[in-house]
Structure 1
Amino acid sequence: MVKPSANQPPPPMPPVVLYPHANPVGQPVRTTGVQGRVSGHQYDWGVFNRGNGEAAGFGPVGEYGVAPWAEDWSRLRDKSKRKDPFDLIKYIALNESGSIWLSFSGETRLRNWFESRPNLGTQHNNDSGRFAVRNLYGADLHLGSHVRLFGQLVNADAAGWNGYGYGSTYRKRLDAQQAFIETKWSMLGAKSGFMFGRQQFLDAPSYMLYNRETPNVPLSWNGFRAYMVWPRIRIDGWDFVQTNDSQNKMFHDTENYNTRLYGFNMTWAPPDGRFMGDRYNSFLDVFYVGYKLSGSSGAIATAQRQPERVQHTQQFWCALARHCRTV
């Protein structure tokens, strides 16, 4: 690990962290606090931007973010800061002052898996090559500093040889992946916000709930979340139903009221400490996550082989400490 000096700038993020979920299963890549402050494009969430910014509750953000709406491109209002050819579409002023502006995001992903014996040989599609492609294109409209509208489209397809397991999360006709409104304000000394509509949700430990990056179609949820961020404490509450993305027609995805996600989270950033010459910082998460699955999705077979519809409810109370080394 390289330590910055007075004559040497902090190290930039490695190229893989341009997009933080670059590893094979879509889990965020860990970075140092210095790298996050230098290369990240998060909104200003203070100490919660450290590392890959995941502690702020909006997913990891490197040069780009897992959730494109978590990226802040308002700095490009200053044209002298535009260094990349794509900066032209990252900040488009729609009025003279630049307070109303539009930002475009896009991703086209090609992915191929080769499996000699899928599922430990139980799938019987030996030497399978699964090829998948997806497109995600979004627009982020900021109406001043208090209101924003975000929309994102998705379409996807899958092919290959000896393929298997292709459902609506691999093959998707054009549909709305995300569409929400967010309002922001300052309340009780906290940066506060309310988001309503169809959206990604990444304010849960990534080992419990992440973005479903292996298939083509990521997870999206319908409902609301509200958050407040102070210098060392933040709170977040949400209530969602999952998007019913099993449709095979254009713009036919609806809400799946049989799958519900709700809860709240509080994150505390204790004062920084030092150990053996290095500076450390920590985050303590206390969260409650409820998950309900009902209807046909929750059906189980009885002894007479007739499905019995039940409601499954899972609830998690947890306190989680995360540590980050800052050089």
Structure 2
Amino acid sequence: MSEAAKYIGAALAVCCLTVGGAARAQDSASKSATEKDAFDALKNIPLSLDGSVYVDLGGQLRIRPEFSRNPVFGLAAPDRNDGLLIRSFLSADFHLGPYARTFIELGSGLAPIWNGIPSATQLDRFDLMQGYGELMLPADGGDVMVRAGRQEMSFGSSRLVSVRESPNIRRAFDGVRMAWIASPDSRVDAFLVRPVSPQSGVFDDQSDPNQAFWGVYATSPVPGISALKADLYYLGLDHDNAKFAQGVADEHRHTVGARLFGKANDFDWNMEGAYQFGRFGRADISAWSVSAELGYTFRNAPFSPRIGLNADAISGDRNLHDGTLGTFNPMFPKLPYFSEANLFAPANLIDIQPNLTVTPVKNVSLTIGWNPIWKESEADAYYGPAITPVAATAGGTGRYLGQQVSTTLTCKITKHLTLGGTYVSYSPGKRIREAGGKSGSFAAAWATISF
């Protein structure tokens, strides 16, 4: 059996498993809606006689096999990696009266099958994933939240700040976050944190002393336009010994941006732009990013198809030897950003991604997308998934990096169990072939139990 056939077969097996689960989900849906959830006993457990102090217990178990051939177009070792990832979280959310709470989440990420040494985001045997105290105080026109400790953060479309869902270990930050919350759709957050650097041992994760991150992020409906919402934000980053194609230096970067998003009838849209300035060693920083996600859903057609178009233009450095760094830094972006194959970081690129999503049965969705990608600046490098310039890809002739075709199938069996699978096939463009890049593929399946 050929390599391609093997990967395609793995993806098809995932699809069969998921669709079979969907059928069982439909049978379950016919049961009485009043049937008690087995996990209800883990919620609202009283710790005081009056019930004002109580705890909610939660957790997750995810099993994810992966099959990868020529990751990052074969420009990063190993050429092949078949892995098995197991992620588990247990949490306790203590409510200490009406205004205070403490949240503790312990977790483990294991990689019992992996070619070589797993990265710290895949292997972290046991550690504190989150642990913070929070006050929620009533104020005029809303509530004021104050939170301190280790915590996850995600803002907007997660293009710049996210939890990093695909790897075993989600992203967390150590520090302080405050928010003024007027309604579920209107709030202003401010924070001062350091990202957590996961380690492979037991209780050895720590704040990254080389990075400091702060900012203000506001979101609200646009007055007078019911279907339109807006985000405005400022984000600051200090990063010692940051690495770009221009070199290695201390980075002091500021980002200002805005996002417009919403739905009207069968249309949906999500558009975002950002500008970055600051210093990189002795060089100035001047970088930008524009992204859009547009879609239309045919709700009355069979399978309720949604036709979508995603597009990005993200700046690169036009001259590696002048006094300006033009490479956009996405800082802490969502993973995956373009596909589960995780080929590209959102830096120095232009891409489009027409896509189609259908719902063959309730709670089952199938998405197919095609994604050609170019360098924004020919002089700059191709940046891999860790926002690191890939060797031998700066300069040269031609901007075309390559293309990928992805298929993803997900099914929500119950409110606690989700199954999914994906297959991605990719081929390099001229610039990547010149650097030694090769075609490859990626397949993965996952089963997630959450409560």
**What TM-score, normalized by structure 2, do the two folds share?**
0.48
Structure 1: any 5+ residue segments left out of the alignment?
1-79, 274-279
Distance 1:111 1:270, change over 3 A: same
DSSP 3-state at the match of 2:209: strand
Q: CA deviation at 1:214?
A: 2.1
Specify the alignment match of 2:105 in structure 1. 152
Task: Tell me if the contact between 1:272 and 1:281 (Cα under 8 Å) persists in the aligned partners.
Answer: no
CA distance in 2, matches of 1:154, 1:120: 32
Q: Which has the larger radius of gyration?
A: 2
Alignment pair present for 1:251 and 2:210: no
- Number of matched residues? 233
- Give the structure 2 partner of residue 221 of structure 1: 173
Root-mean-square deviation (CA), in Å? 2.7
User: What is the aligned partner in structure 2 of residue 172 from structure 1?
Assistant: 124
Question: Is contact 2:43-2:55 (8 Å) kept?
Answer: yes
Higher strand share: 2
Whole-Å separation in 2 of the counterparts to 1:200 and 1:250: 20
Q: Secondary structure at the match of 2:72?
A: helix
1:242-273 CA deviation, whole Å, 9 max, x = no partner?
11323x33212222221111000121213575
Question: Retained in 2: the 8 A contact 1:260–1:291?
Answer: yes
Residue of structure 1 in register with 2:60 after alignment: 107
Aligned match for 2:242, one of 298, 321, 324 = 298
**Which residue number in structure 2 is paired with residue 132 of structure 1?**
85
SS at match of 2:208: strand
Q: 1:282 matched to which residue of 2?
A: 228
**Equivalent residue of 2:164, what SS?**
coil
Q: Counterpart in 2 of 1:196?
A: 148
Q: Per-residue displacement from partner, 1:165-186 (whole Å, max 9, x unpaired)?
A: 6122111121111110000111
Are 1:108 and 1:134, in contact at CA under 8 Å, matched by a contact in 2?
Answer: yes
Q: Is the 8 A contact 2:156 2:231 kept in 1?
A: no
Residues 141-184 of structure 1 show CA distances to partners (whole Å, capped at 9, x for unaligned) of: 000110000011111111336x2561221111211111100001
Matches within 5 A, 1:42-81: none
CA contact (8 A) 2:110 2:123 kept: yes
> CA–CA distance in 2 between the matches of 1:293 and 1:152?
27
Task: Call closer, same or farther: CA 1:105–1:129 in 2, change over 3 Å.
Answer: same
Runs of 4+ in 1 over 6 A off after TM superposition: 299-302
Counterpart for residue 269 of structure 1: 221
CA distance in 2, matches of 1:82, 1:97: 27
Q: CA deviation at 1:298?
A: 2.9
Quote how far apart the aligned CAs of 1:314 are. 2.2
Could you list the runs of 5+ residues in structure 2 that have no partner in the other structure?
1-32, 267-451
Conserved 8 A contact 2:195-2:207: yes
Aligned to 1:317: 256
- TM-score, normalized by length of structure 1? 0.65
* Cα separation, 1, equivalents of 2:243 and 2:58: 39
- Shift of the 326–301 alpha-carbon distance from structure 1 to 2, 3 Å rule, reads closer
Q: Distance in 2 between matches of 1:90 and 1:145?
A: 17
Deviation (angstroms), 1:203: 2.6
- Secondary structure of 1:257's partner? coil
Q: Would the aligned equivalents of 1:281 and 1:326 in 2 still touch at CA under 8 Å? A: no
Same amino acid, percent of matched pairs: 24
Tell me which amino acid in the other structure corresponds to 1:282: L
Evaluate the alpha carbon distance shift between residue 326 and residue 193 of structure 1 in structure 2; reply closer, same or farther with a 3 A threshold. farther
* Structure 2 Cα separation of the partners of residues 193 and 173 of structure 1: 32
